[in-house]
Chain A
Amino acid sequence: MLDNLNILIQAPVFNLQLLLDGLFIGAVFALAAYGLALVWGVMNVKNLAQGELVIMGGYIAYLLAKLGVHPIFSVPIAMIVMFIFGWVTYVLIIRWVIEKDLFISLLSTFGLAIVVQQGLNLAFGPEVQTVESGFGTESFLGGNLSVATIKFISLVLCVILAAAVVSFMKLSRMGQAIRATSQDPRAARVMGINTDRVYAFTFSLNAAICGAAGVLVSMIWVIQPFYGVAYSVRAFVIVIVAGLGNLPGVIMAALGLGVAETYAGFSLGAELQQATVVILLLLVLVVRQILSARQRQVVQ
């Protein structure tokens, strides 16, 4: 375990490698976390099926790659398919739980997560899959630092997607309606906004963002039907750290999580990488609890 730490100290260039890998994967986490923050903030639904939506997007790319579509072109296709899936999910499940107890929304999306996981498992089998993008690897610093070209491309795609979503939220009519609904649903209804449609659109948008993130994951990492839980946990870690409606915070937390996870995976061993994410979630919750307890003391 400590041998790997020694490598990091003796060959500082490895640090750069890990840092870059962490940032590339963190950009994908940021997309999933932004979707979660959107649904959480607007509809107050905590979506435990977030990671499963990501993995679904990955499998769409996998399926399309089998049919001969290049994974980069499957980004928009996956977004459209996931948008429709999100809308159907909203009509069947989410619409009925918005007004209810928060635990109900958590548990129903957990049920959805189980359905998606097991459905994917039946359809594609439990093997680990990846989608070949056909790009090479760039080397820097005399071959000590190597980065797959696809990771650069995925980072650029992440930035484009994030910019598109943010400008959509700021500029379009629907984006304004979503923000108005998140501020005060009742007032939004009074102003003639069809909040039910806004909710449906928000959830579908989240599914589409997750689908795009999934395509990127399938290109730069691996997908497997049961890997979704880790993405849900990561999204929760990021959103709980950053808070709702705090886009710079989400991006910073996501990149930080990506780097922390790559370091942990390298120095502690790959079998502890999942555990690291989950333990980070517990730590974040405990810290949050301590902070809120302190706040309560101040109020008293």
Chain B
Amino acid sequence: MSISQQSWALQFAILAAGLVAPFIFPDYTFQITVLWLMIVFALTWDLMGGQMGYNSLGNIFFFGAGMYICAVVQVAVAGYDIGEYTAAYGGVKVDITTTNYYLGVAVGLTAAAIGCAFMSIFLSRALLGLRGPYFAIGTLGLALAGGELVGAWTWVGGGGGIALPVFPGEADDRSLFFYFLLFLEAVIVFLFLKQLYLTRFGLAINAIRDDEEKAEGMGIHTLRHKSVAWAISAFFLGISGGVFGNMIGFIEPLEVAFPTITFGIFMVAMPLLGGKGTLWGPVLGAFLFHTIKEVTWTYLLGWQWVALGVIIIINVVYFPQGIMGWIQSKWPERFGIVVDRKTSETENVKEAAS
């Protein structure tokens, strides 16, 4: 079986597993839902960090922004002004019809996606000219600023947060509904990015990663490509934020919407673990990271966040190429990378001589 056939077989296996998983393990639906969210995080981060070389520490900003946009739109569709709604601290009893609820979610998610994409285009004028570590620091500042500003903004509830309209139906239907929304999103993101990396656009952002000055010299409009890549990232992150906010049911700026040191750093750690700059690396990294986290977390008794920091340090310092990167350098021919024995041998000789 060739590598592409294997890849297709794997994709179908994952698709089938994703479709039946909530029915086989109904107790773990929430955990598996978060796994799809993590895969979305890892893939959208890798579009920027791995494929384009712009390591963002603040992509969580779009997750939180999407969550808030979606919430505001949903409350508006339900017929309330968000200011009055949040001022009552859950005192407003929302009477909402089933159709209105689904309409609110649909409109809210659309608004979140488009709003985040626009925000990223606006921000890219300000931030995407920053190179390397300055970009990382700037985006980290963006995420922190997002949390602080929303926390001080009383119109959207400030630090008190927003309780979202309640799902009209059974609890089991509710978890399945959000499960399939995030599952669908993960599948769409994966297939979309897979196609995207095959196009000229994919090659252009790889060129920007390898050498931005030369890419510009070759006539690639770098700022435009970078903005579009960031907008794609923000688009999908906005949707995932909206869905996750509804799934939790209550959103709040620092812990749920802009959690810089949890989700914000997970989305960097996962592609690095799996191997950044590859298509399957982020998926593998998200799967491993999430599984390890869920299995071991409860046994660590409060030390889990310390363990998270240690994992990041060990991963980054001692194992920066990630699992897929390691496999690629171990068996390059399996990935269609042809190693010229003669040149690699002469290089080895040169290295030995120097």
Give the B-binding residues of A (Cβ under 8 A): 46, 48, 93, 96-97, 100-108, 110-119, 121-122, 229, 233, 236, 240, 269, 271-272, 274-275, 278-279, 281-282, 285-286, 288-290, 292-293
A106/B317 in contact, CB under 8 A: no
Which of B57, B127, B261 makes the CB contact (< 8 A) with A114?
B261
Q: What 0/1 pattern do residues 130 to 168 of B give for CB contact below 8 A with A?
A: 101110111011101100110110000001000000000
Find chain B residues with CB under 8 A from A48 CB: 137, 140
Which of B145, B309, B316 makes the CB contact (< 8 A) with A275?
B145
A293/B265 in contact, CB under 8 A: no
- How many chain B residues touch A (CB < 8 A): the figure is 40
B137/A285 in contact, CB under 8 A: yes
Task: Name the CB-closest residue of B to A118.
Answer: B305
B127/A111 in contact, CB under 8 A: no
B127/A285 in contact, CB under 8 A: yes
A229 to chain B, nearest CB (A): 7
In the complex, A113 Cα to B305 Cα: how many Å?
11
Task: Name the CB-closest residue of B to A271.
Answer: B152
Chief secondary structure at chain B's binding surface: helix
Which of A104, A115, A282, A285 makes the CB contact (< 8 A) with B320?
A104
B317/A108 in contact, CB under 8 A: yes
In the complex, A193 Cα to B297 Cα: how many Å?
46
B107 to chain A, nearest CB (A): 30
Interface residues in B97-132 (C-beta closer than 8 Å to A): 126-127, 129-130, 132
A96/B126 in contact, CB under 8 A: no
B306/A122 in contact, CB under 8 A: yes
B312/A110 in contact, CB under 8 A: yes
Give the A-binding residues of B (Cβ under 8 A): 55, 57, 126-127, 129-130, 132-134, 136-138, 140-142, 144-145, 148-149, 151-152, 159, 261, 265, 268, 272, 302-303, 305-306, 308-313, 316-318, 320
In the complex, A104 Cα to B308 Cα: how many Å?
16
Task: Name the CB-closest residue of A to B308.
Answer: A114
In the complex, A111 Cα to B265 Cα: how many Å?
9
In the complex, A274 Cα to B253 Cα: how many Å?
14
A106/B130 in contact, CB under 8 A: no
Across the A-B interface, the 8 shortest Cβ-Cβ residue pairs: A114-B309, A115-B309, A111-B312, A275-B148, A118-B305, A111-B313, A278-B145, A289-B129
Interface contacts beyond A97-B316, A107-B272, A236-B137: sample of 12 additional A-B pairs, CB < 8 Å, sorted by A: A96-B317, A101-B320, A106-B55, A106-B57, A110-B265, A110-B312, A114-B309, A115-B309, A118-B303, A118-B309, A269-B152, A285-B130
A103/B265 in contact, CB under 8 A: no
In the complex, A269 Cα to B148 Cα: how many Å?
12
What are 13 A-B contacts with C-beta separation under 8 Å? Answer: A103-B133, A104-B316, A106-B133, A112-B309, A112-B313, A115-B306, A118-B306, A233-B141, A282-B126, A282-B142, A285-B127, A285-B138, A286-B127
Chief secondary structure at chain A's binding surface: helix
Given A103-B133, A106-B136, A285-B130: A114 in contact with B312 (beta carbons within 8 A)? yes
Find chain B residues with CB under 8 A from A122 CB: 302-303, 306
B309/A103 in contact, CB under 8 A: no
Given A114-B261, A233-B144, A279-B145: A103 in contact with B136 (beta carbons within 8 A)? yes
Given A111-B312, A275-B149: A97 in contact with B127 (beta carbons within 8 A)? no
Given A272-B152, A275-B148: A103 in contact with B305 (beta carbons within 8 A)? no
Task: Name the CB-closest residue of A to B49.
Answer: A103
In the complex, A93 Cα to B318 Cα: how many Å?
9
A274 to chain B, nearest CB (A): 5
A93/B313 in contact, CB under 8 A: yes
A102/B130 in contact, CB under 8 A: no
Find chain B residues with CB under 8 A from A46 CB: 133, 137
